[in-house]
Chains A and B, each alone.
Chain A
Amino acid sequence: MSYTLIVAEVRRGVFEERNLDSLGLGTLLGGEAVLLVPDGAYEAADKLVDAVVKIKAPEEVYLNPMNMGKILEAVFAARGKPDHILFTQSSSGMEAAAYAGLFGMPVITDVSGYDSQAGVFLKSYYSDKVFGQFKAAGAPAILTVRSGSFREFAAEKAAAAAAEAMEGAPSVEARTFVEYVEEEKADIDITKAEFLLSVGRGIGNQDEVAGYEELAGALKAVLSGSRPVIDKLWLPKARQVGTSGKTVKPKVYLAMGISGAFQHIAGMKDSDCIIAVNKDPGAPIFQYAHYGIIGDIHKVRDKLKELAKG
């Protein structure tokens, strides 16, 4: 019998919200939806699927791809192979391609759309400037699902999900969890700011950062940045907006020189007012902003400073 296997992402006892996007795509794909979770006290959205398989294994064992390969094998043995296996597009789902290699299955990552008539999946290329429509040439296909793309399609089922328990695989030695490492305490908490001035790759080089610090000072905004700026150490890690940094919801988010990779958008899209300044009219951030300015960000910076002083 055909079914979709949804591998839930859990972390430190939390059933991650982006699992809803996998559940939504599961609904669109039709057929039976089977959710895989580690056995534990997770709020597991049982009503949104037909069956829940609880793996008797600690979270760290379940999240380890070397173990998950064995767990998937056991699921295939018990239920047959599904048509699709869904993971979240996340630090955990970024390792799901290993199962494609292991089992010889097709893989499409960062899926953000599905056309059920044509049976094609939409996948971003070139930072969302274009998308490829992909078809899997065989089943099961491994898909990782972009956060925010499908959650509105997650629908409650008429009957509660049938729950079953399954033994977890014995933990492998090839890769073992050691410990979590927390981020260092920072001088400022950007999640508390009402007004963020955020800078991205477009600022060009490190010498320009000071000018944006001055602008933030003049506007009484807190300075934050997108991944490329943090990677280059132009701003401290605690000032990073995006999935691997902080999720922020200020009154105003003023983005300068940020093109808008989805990992960044996920971290700021719920701001009350988003203003984007970018010289590239095709920058994806303009799709999410309330106000936009196409232009040279340094010139806008200098003029704003001048006006703010006057």
Chain B
Amino acid sequence: MNILVFTKRVAATQEEELRITGEGQAVDLSKVPFKVNDWDNYSVEEAVRIVDKSGGSVTAISIGDAESDEVLRRAIAMGAKDGFLVETGDILNDPFTRGELIRSFIDKEKVPFDIILTGVQSEDDQFGAVGGVLAGLMGLPYASMVIGIDAVEKDHVIIRRELEGGLQEKVKVATPCVLSIQSGINEPRYVSIMGIRKASKVERKVFKADGYEKGSPKIELVKWVYPEKKGGATMLDGELADVCGQLLGILKEKGVYQ
């Protein structure tokens, strides 16, 4: 099995305050650290596990600026054989544009594959749409929310999709196909700094995105806005002991703690 797995370098904004600049033109990420997209970490791990069991090789691909080489080195340290960077300085907010660029790249460079893995979504834009768009454009079978790959056969895979409320559905998908991987599907291996340093010695190929089609955008970002403030919480202020005392008081008042 030849597996292509997409990995993206994203802003780690969990504990960062984000500032919108100008009249809503941009979100200032200049002071925000970057990391590998969580979902892609699970996808790379899953790809490596499949070839460990069934043979073949994993190619990690990233669409982004030169800094994205970082997530390719990481994927190689986890077991990917090759790392391809499709280099672009553009943000590509439209998942259709991203899907079209990937389709064009795979087509033009004749990259062989049996299975394409993407994360269900990326942490930054949370579109969760590139895998689906790509499958639609390529005319390939698609499944998202993949929380288990139970069997990889010559012409199909048996997967489980995560539904709501703890329910899963088992589905048979013909290969070649596109699968979007849900977080929690596996336990991604630990990647050491030594491992990444070693992976740096494996050559990563860089392709300029300008050489491929990406069509015209189908959606337009008009501007950025802050979330609408809802009621909001009553904030408990003061010294730690005081705040915790107030909290216990609320628990008593609600009758769940004596």
* Contacts from A to B (Cβ < 8 Å): 11, 65-66, 69, 90-92, 94-110, 113, 118, 120, 122, 124-138, 141, 173-183, 194-195, 201, 219-221, 227-228, 230-233, 237-238, 240, 243-247, 251-252, 254, 259, 272-276, 279-282, 284, 286-295, 299-300, 303-304, 307-308
CA gap between A183 and B148 in the complex, in Å:
13
Set of chain A residues within 8 Å of B230, measured between Cβ atoms: 287-288
Q: Is the CB of A101 within 8 A of B133?
A: yes
Nearest opposing residue in chain B for A288, CB measure: B230
When C-beta atoms are compared, the residue in chain B nearest to A273 turns out to be B254
- Closest 5 pairs between A and B when the two form their complex, measured CB to CB: A101-B136, A97-B132, A292-B233, A231-B184, A183-B166
Contact B226 A130 (CB under 8 A): yes
Query: When each residue 160-184 of chain B gets 1 if its CB lies under 8 Å from chain A and 0 otherwise, what string results?
Result: 1111111111111110010010011
Which of the 9-residue segments B12-20, B80-88, B199-207 touches chain A? B12-20
- Are B227 and A287 in touch, CB under 8 angstroms? yes
Kindly state the separation between the CA atoms of A102 and B140 in the bound complex, as whole angstroms: 10
Q: Is the CB of B235 within 8 A of A91?
A: no
Stretch of B43-51, B66-74, B91-99 lying at the A interface: B91-99
In the docked arrangement, what's the CA distance between A92 and B171, Å? 13
Cβ–Cβ contact B227 & A110, under 8 A: no
Interface residue count on the B side (C-beta < 8 Å): 93
Is B191 interfacial (CB-CB < 8 Å)? no
Closest to B120 in A: A94
Interchain CB contact under 8 A, A195 and B257: yes
Contacts of B142 in A (CB 8 A): 65-66, 95, 98, 175
Q: Give, as a whole number of angstroms, the nearest-CB distance from B104 to chain A.
A: 13
Chain B interface residues (CB < 8 Å from chain A): 11, 13-18, 20, 24, 27, 93-96, 99, 120, 123-139, 141-145, 158, 160-174, 177, 180, 183-184, 187, 216-236, 240-241, 243-245, 247-248, 250-251, 254-257
CB distance from A271 to the nearest CB of B (A): 10
Do B254 and A251 have beta carbons less than 8 Å apart? yes
Whole-angstrom distance between the alpha carbons of A291 and B246 in the complex?
A: 10
> Which A residues touch B244, using CB under 8 A?
300, 303-304, 307
Q: Which residues on A sit within 8 Å (CB–CB) of B234?
A: 290-292
Contact B174 A174 (CB under 8 A): yes
Taken together as a complex, chains A and B put the C-alpha atoms of A279 and B240 apart, in Å, by 13
B141 adjacent to A201 (CB under 8 Å): no
Query: Given A90-B164, A102-B136, A109-B128, A131–B247 Cβ distance below 8 Å?
Result: no
- CB of A115 to closest CB in B, whole Å: 9
Give CA–CA (A263, B217) in the complex, Å.
Answer: 29
What are 26 contact pairs spanning A and B, CB under 8 A?
Answer: A94-B132, A94-B145, A106-B218, A124-B126, A126-B13, A126-B124, A127-B14, A129-B13, A129-B16, A129-B227, A134-B222, A135-B220, A175-B173, A178-B158, A181-B160, A182-B166, A194-B256, A195-B256, A228-B183, A252-B251, A259-B14, A275-B250, A276-B233, A280-B14, A287-B229, A303-B244
How long is the Cα–Cα vector from A244 to B47 in the complex, in angstroms?
24
